[in-house]
């Protein structure tokens, strides 16, 4: 109940103060690209129920059926010009404040996954993740905020790399959050989220949370 109170408070204040930016973005999207303002996609939520996640449109409308489907890579040709800016600044995620007000999401929690990516998690982690509401941000989102760069290697099978390298560790991080979920973690992750948006190369999360799961795969160690 305490976390829900702060979810409503912070998301309402954010929508109020950010409304001028949101309106400008909506106008630009309406007159550029494919003239789509929002991108709506079913994501796996609490108790495994699907909900419609809101984002600002940044990619071609048929993106889930093109190329790497639900996985986005660096300099992805499906990303529209203005969409690249929105993704880099994370402004494209702000419509999810409405999902938070509605109760589908929390400000902090496991990143809501498309069904295909959710099923890439080991079964035991899938069970843990759906115990809580997904979040606008969280430890998985922070650690893997540069996931597109991690997948920027044309010599690898990107879908296989996601399923066998990224998804298992991301799942461990989400499981860590669920096991350590409390009001301190909630506020610490909000602070870290703001910090890494301003300073994208920061690894401050390692200093604040010293008991995160160890990274075992060499291809991830250079990024995390």
Paired with 39 in beta bridges are 55
Residue 17 is predicted with a pLDDT of: 95
Alpha carbon distance 12, 70 (integer Å): 29
Tally of structural domains, the chain: 1
Task: Give burial (CB, 10 Å; 0-12/13-18/19+) of 71.
Answer: buried
Which of residues 60 and 190 earns the better pLDDT score?
190
Q: Where are the beta strands (DSSP E) in 125-174?
A: 135-137
Are the C-beta atoms of 192 and 204 separated by less than 8 Å? yes
DSSP 166: I
Which of residues 69 and 200 earns the better pLDDT score?
200
Residue 192 clears pLDDT 80, i.e. is over it: yes
Mean pLDDT confidence for 205-212: 94
Alpha carbon distance 69, 159 (integer Å): 9
Tokens 């969409």 found at: 83
Residue 68 clears pLDDT 60, i.e. is over it: no
Q: Where are the beta strands (DSSP E) in 32-101?
A: 38-44, 50-56
Residue 65 clears pLDDT 60, i.e. is over it: no
Of the candidates 147, 195, 144, 137, the one whose C-alpha atom is nearest the C-alpha of residue 172 is 144
The number of C-alpha atoms within 13 Å of 199 and in the hemisphere containing its C-beta is: 7
CA 176 to chain centre: 16
Of the candidates 155, 137, 151, the one whose C-alpha atom is nearest the C-alpha of residue 197 is 137
Residue 205 clears pLDDT 90, i.e. is over it: yes
Residue 73 is predicted with a pLDDT of: 57
Q: Residue 63 is part of which domain span?
A: 2-221
Mean pLDDT confidence for 17-29: 95
Of the candidates 65, 86, 219, 208, the one whose C-alpha atom is nearest the C-alpha of residue 142 is 208
Mean pLDDT confidence for 126-146: 94
pLDDT tens track for 144-180: 988 877 877 767 788 888 888 888 999 999 999 999 9
Choose the weakest-confidence range: 53-57, 105-109, 157-161: 157-161
Give the confidence band of 75 by pLDDT, cuts at 50, 70, 90: low
């Amino acid at each position: 109940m305490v976390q829900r109170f702060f979810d409503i408070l912070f998301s309402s204040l954010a929508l109020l103060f950010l409304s001028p930016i949101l309106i400008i973005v909506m106008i630009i999207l309406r007159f550029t690209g494919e003239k789509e303002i929002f991108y709506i996609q079913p994501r796996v939520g609490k108790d495994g129920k699907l909900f419609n996640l809101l984002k600002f449109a940044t990619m071609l409308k048929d993106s889930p059926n093109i190329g790497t489907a639900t996985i986005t890579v660096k300099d992805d040709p499906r990303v529209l010009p203005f969409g690249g800016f929105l993704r880099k600044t994370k402004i494209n995620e702000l419509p999810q404040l409405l999902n938070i007000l509605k109760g589908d999401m929390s400000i902090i929690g496991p990143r809501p996954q498309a069904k295909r990516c959710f099923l890439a998690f080991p079964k035991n982690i899938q069970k843990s993740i759906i115990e809580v509401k997904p979040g606008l941000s969280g430890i998985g989102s922070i650690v893997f905020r540069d996931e597109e760069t991690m997948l920027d290697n044309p010599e690898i099978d990107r879908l296989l790399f996601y399923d066998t390298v990224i998804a298992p560790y991301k799942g461990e991080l989400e499981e860590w959050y669920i096991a350590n979920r409390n009001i301190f973690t909630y506020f610490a992750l909000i602070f870290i989220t703001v910090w890494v948006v301003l300073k994208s190369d920061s690894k401050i999360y390692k200093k604040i949370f010293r008991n995160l799961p160890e990274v075992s795969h060499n291809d991830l160690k250079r990024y995390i």
